[in-house]
Structure 1
Amino acid sequence: MEARTFKNPILPGCYADPSICRVGEDYYMVTSTFEYFPGVPIFHSKDLVNWRQLGHVLDRPSQLDLDGTPCSKGIYAPTIRYHEGTFYMVTTFVESATGARKNFYVTAHDPAGPWSDPHWLQDAPGIDPSLFFDDDGRCYYTGNRQPPGGQQYPKHMEIWLQELDLRTHQLVGPKISLWDGALKLAHAQEASHLYKIDGYYYLIIAEGGTGFTHSVTIARSERLTGPYEACKMNPILTHRHLGQQHPIANVGHADFVQTQNGDWWLVCLGSRPYGGHYRNLGRETFLAPFIWENGWPVVNPGKGIIETEMPRPSLPEHRWPTQPACDHFDSPTLRHEWNFIRTPRGEFWSLAKRPGYLRLKLKPETVMEEANPSFVGRRQQHIDFAARVAMEFSPQSEREAAGLVLLENTDFQYRMEISRGPGGGSALVIRLIQRREGTDTVLAEQAVPAEAGAGAAAGKAAELRERRLYMKVEAIGQSYSFYYAVQAEQWFALYENADGTILSVDVGGGFTGTYIGMYATAHGATSDNFADFDYFEYMPI
């Protein structure tokens, strides 16, 4: 029997700012990626609940140059739309710590790609762009900006509209002010989308900032250019009135979709705080139904909020084959869940140098600086989880290290790494390093037993066996525990019950959730050395 309810979030982990469109009986969705590469994951669904990742929209360095991009800058709030055989994805690239930004769009005939190189838009201020195709086929761009008359209160923004010429790939005609707030002193007006429904143009907006006071508001007009009438029920969706003990927080940034059966649903972002108001998983993607009453949307009628379990859409359930929890790196390409920090530069990773292993070359860069380190990671997607790796690595100096990292940003992280002992001796040590506010503290250090290779054949085989080590992290809520083994499944505790709250945006700042990954570094030195990872396993517990 098909399930009658579904679980929120539909995309767990740091999948923020969702945008959705439907083509026939197929649904496509994209989310933000900030400083991570490839950019903008694209997902496909038949039933709005079960999603498979097709790939990434921005998967080539020619599309996305993240060199020097600070943490939590980069790619913001993509919008996906479909018109007459072509998919469009428009987004903002925030390129500097001062907020310098550029807006662009790319196109494709197949949502799985390839997508075009960017069409950079001139004189397109603000963030969170969206596209709207009117009945006559003309395309319009919406975004946010400071009001031409100046801001009347902190973070006061307005939503503006301009036509986009798809032949020249540029904005044309006048900029038209559409909206500057549903409520007095509602701030951070952004994330607008336009729709035409039953003769009205509807404009939805995210207001209140992307934190606890986040919300969705809506206005409508009989004319594209306005004036727009505010819905008297605004905000039509928020959780800010539910208090900080509610299991879903900072709900907002919505996009609408109508099913082939005529039903209406929205996707939006939200977070699941745990262990206090800490959001290690970042901002995730949620799904909710709504109906129309008197020309206005009513979200989740009778309740008005996003719930963790809700009735399913009236669509045939369509599940996709599940990926194994353990990646043995047997494929010629990395699985879609893996990311780099910023655009990968140099040939520092390989699945071909040693088939069945991910090889990471030691780079001078580290995960403690805003650079492109030798790192391959994925999102933490569950409150309780376990992740483990098998690594073969022989550090040649005390500067060389490789291992497992849990990353909030450059200044807040845990690193479980193998390196040489003090003075560069031959002994290997495993360390757990907590980095908080940019300061490293060694929480635990343990010599790796020399008899790790006991029983192995003599010579080269023994050498390889001696440098194989297993590492594991287990999290139960905000308690993170770290283990190592020199023989498979014979685990020793390195450090237990470490404070996980430093991996929350509420401590470390920014917009992303926790990433878990493999890395290798020579700490500023040039090295030809490398680390081989036999597998990486991630699973909820």
Structure 2
Amino acid sequence: MTQSMNHEETFENPIIPGFYPDPSICRVGEDYYLVTSTFHYFPGVPIFHSKDLVNWRQIGHVLDRPSQLNLDGTPSSRGIYAPTIRYHQGVFYMITTFVESKKGARRNFYVTAENPAGPWSDPNWLEDAPGIDPSLFFDDDGRVYMTANRVPPSGREYPKHMEIWLQELDIEKKQLIGPKYSLWDGALKQIHAQEAPHLYKIEGQYYLMIAEGGTGFTHSVTIARSESITGPYENCKMNPILTHRHLGRDYPITSVGHADIVQTQNGEWWIVCLATRPYGGEYRNLGRESFLVPFRWENGWPVVNPGKGIVEMTTKRPHLKSFPWPTRPACDHFDTPQLDMAWNFIRTPRDHFWSLTERPGHLRLRLKPERMTEICNPSFVGRRQQHMTFAARTMMVFDPQNEWETAGLVLLQDHDFQYRMESALHESKNIIRLIKREHGEEEVIATQEIAGQRLYLKVEAAGQDYHFYYARHAEEWQVLAEYMDGRLLSTDVAGGFVGAYIGLFASSQGHDSLNVADFDWFEYIGVPQQ
């Protein structure tokens, strides 16, 4: 029964702002769970919980142990692609692809848990499971199937030509069995990059929903159906059922695609999908984000956001009782025994370079020889940029002993595109400097001499204008550099699939060091888009 509520009440997209792409969703009773991609960041695959599809809180990471996720040497924007979450008979399943390198192996695996907050099992690696974006489907007869994409066995007939395949999965043996079936080889060969398949069984029909057109501006969602799980599948004549490529490149929401669907306990149908919000031109510093859009069934086919057909920034809420979670504090004082779930590492941490206990109330980072400019696991703890306009600041205690020792605040897209506001020694003097790194080339933008070990650092962004400040005493901010071009933090400049990060780092730049940098607190305040 639909609950009584104000039908005009709205919510704001995205439901999870910032770099949270490729959302997949499942419902268990009145609870909803959602996972997203993480690529070369650790822990992998954040998992979120919601009661109303609008308010989400993170409850953990699926891949939170080095035994589950080895990202050593994994290039930026490779690693964990497009997870799918499903629930069956008391067990949660998460299946995903590990992409080793740009042209290296794509290895599919799944993990399981009885509690979505964890712990999750170690990976069950699937043999002879090509392609990316795997999904699981549990049929009424107890059989389980995996879908993914692959290059057609007969070869590609045009660039990025892929097909969707299906094979049965033996849950007991944890391996694929039986023949592979080709379900969908394009749509009249007018599209490319067929991927992200999800199977559903609704009123006796099997529906296969996929993403097409690549994850950029031409991204889209298409669907087909069949009376048999192995096909043949009939294309929906309204395909694509969801895209924004016809709206132009200056539309505030672009690159819509990679969708998963869920039915509420009240009978409504909703899609979660990724999309981007360009700003300052066609630049997407926030990466691909998670959005929510309604749909209904007409003549056996989904009609997305009827009367509008697009993802909107402001949308009517689901007919579910609003269930907001407590607001998380803007400032992390590092006074808990574990890092907050918002924090990530670059690749799998292999040594104890950080501590919350060696100096209570502080995040201590040990200086590692690894640099922020290398494909490695540097001494770095960071979080996503989630707003176009934001302020982030921290207080650091650091006493560099050599000119190669540095620590501070970094904004990065990857190892070759970043801003570093760092404390260091230069000609035996303590300095604070701003370094811009673009296409692997570095430029010192500004340098100021400072005194003492305690230093406040702040970055403010207003759109693509980034401003950097420092202070010796609280709130006595001085300009280090203003109106720096933030577009280099966009995938449209750097390439790849991730969003911008803001983090704390410490490096001895190729040398051994026993030095440390202590961060007393870190504050991030974002301004919602108007």
Task: Kindly provide the CA deviation profile for residues 197-224 of structure 1, in whole angstroms up to 9, marking residues without a partner as x.
Answer: 0110000000000000000000000000
Matches within 5 A, 1:93-104: 93-104=98-109
Query: Is 1:322 paired with 2:327?
Result: yes
Matches within 5 A, 1:4-83: 4-83=9-88
In 2, Cα distance between the equivalents of 1:540 and 1:112?
27
Matches within 5 A, 1:472-491: 472-491=458-477
Match of 1:524 among 510, 513, 516: 510
1:153·1:185 contact (CA, 8 Å) conserved in 2? no
Query: Is 1:428 paired with 2:414?
Result: no
In 1, Cα distance between the equivalents of 2:154 and 2:299?
34
1:92 counterpart letter in structure 2: T
In 1, Cα distance between the equivalents of 2:105 and 2:167?
21
Matches within 5 A, 1:103-118: 103-118=108-123
> Partner of 1:513 in structure 2?
499
Matches within 5 A, 1:69-468: 69-422=74-427, 425=428, 427-448=429-450, 450=451, 466-468=452-454
TM-score normalised per structure 1: 0.96
1:310 alignment partner, SS class: strand
Task: Kindly provide the CA deviation profile for residues 472-517 of structure 1, in whole angstroms up to 9, marking residues without a partner as x.
Answer: 0000000000000000000000000000000000000000000000
Task: Kindly provide the CA deviation profile for residues 151-189 of structure 1, in whole angstroms up to 9, marking residues without a partner as x.
Answer: 110000000000000011000000000001124230000
1:86 counterpart letter in structure 2: V
Task: Kindly provide the CA deviation profile for residues 257-293 of structure 1, in whole angstroms up to 9, marking residues without a partner as x.
Answer: 0000010000000000000000000000000000000
2:149 alignment partner, SS class: strand
In 1, Cα distance between the equivalents of 2:466 and 2:378?
24
1:156·1:185 contact (CA, 8 Å) conserved in 2? no
Task: Kindly provide the CA deviation profile for residues 387-441 of structure 1, in whole angstroms up to 9, marking residues without a partner as x.
Answer: 000000000100000000001001000000000013xx1x210010000000110
Deviation at 1:149, TM superposition (A): 1.3
Task: Kindly provide the CA deviation profile for residues 275-332 of structure 1, in whole angstroms up to 9, marking residues without a partner as x.
Answer: 0000000000000000000000000000000000000000000010111000000100
In 1, Cα distance between the equivalents of 2:103 and 2:242?
31
1:507 alignment partner, SS class: helix
In 1, Cα distance between the equivalents of 2:457 and 2:21?
30
Task: Kindly provide the CA deviation profile for residues 453-475 of structure 1, in whole angstroms up to 9, marking residues without a partner as x.
Answer: xxxxxxxxxxxxx2110000000
Deviation at 1:97, TM superposition (A): 2.8
Task: Kindly provide the CA deviation profile for residues 340-367 of structure 1, in whole angstroms up to 9, marking residues without a partner as x.
Answer: 0000011100001011000000000011
Q: Aligned residues, how many?
A: 522
1:88 counterpart letter in structure 2: Y
Task: Kindly provide the CA deviation profile for residues 38-73 of structure 1, in whole angstroms up to 9, marking residues without a partner as x.
Answer: 000000000000000001000000000000000000
1:398·1:420 contact (CA, 8 Å) conserved in 2? yes
1:182·1:217 contact (CA, 8 Å) conserved in 2? no
In 2, Cα distance between the equivalents of 1:523 and 1:98?
29
> Partner of 1:459 in structure 2?
none
Task: Kindly provide the CA deviation profile for residues 7-41 of structure 1, in whole angstroms up to 9, marking residues without a partner as x.
Answer: 00000000000000000000000000000000000
In 1, Cα distance between the equivalents of 2:106 and 2:191?
23
Task: Kindly provide the CA deviation profile for residues 200-250 of structure 1, in whole angstroms up to 9, marking residues without a partner as x.
Answer: 000000000000000000000000000000000000000000001100000
Unaligned runs of 5+ in 1: 451-465
1:349·1:374 contact (CA, 8 Å) conserved in 2? yes
1:241 alignment partner, SS class: helix
TM-score normalised per structure 2: 0.98
In 2, Cα distance between the equivalents of 1:154 and 1:379?
33
In 1, Cα distance between the equivalents of 2:491 and 2:525?
22
1:353 alignment partner, SS class: coil
1:257·1:265 contact (CA, 8 Å) conserved in 2? yes
Deviation at 1:132, TM superposition (A): 0.1
The percent identity for this pair of structures is 71
Deviation at 1:99, TM superposition (A): 3.4
In 2, Cα distance between the equivalents of 1:229 and 1:328?
56
In 2, Cα distance between the equivalents of 1:380 and 1:296?
37
Deviation at 1:145, TM superposition (A): 0.3
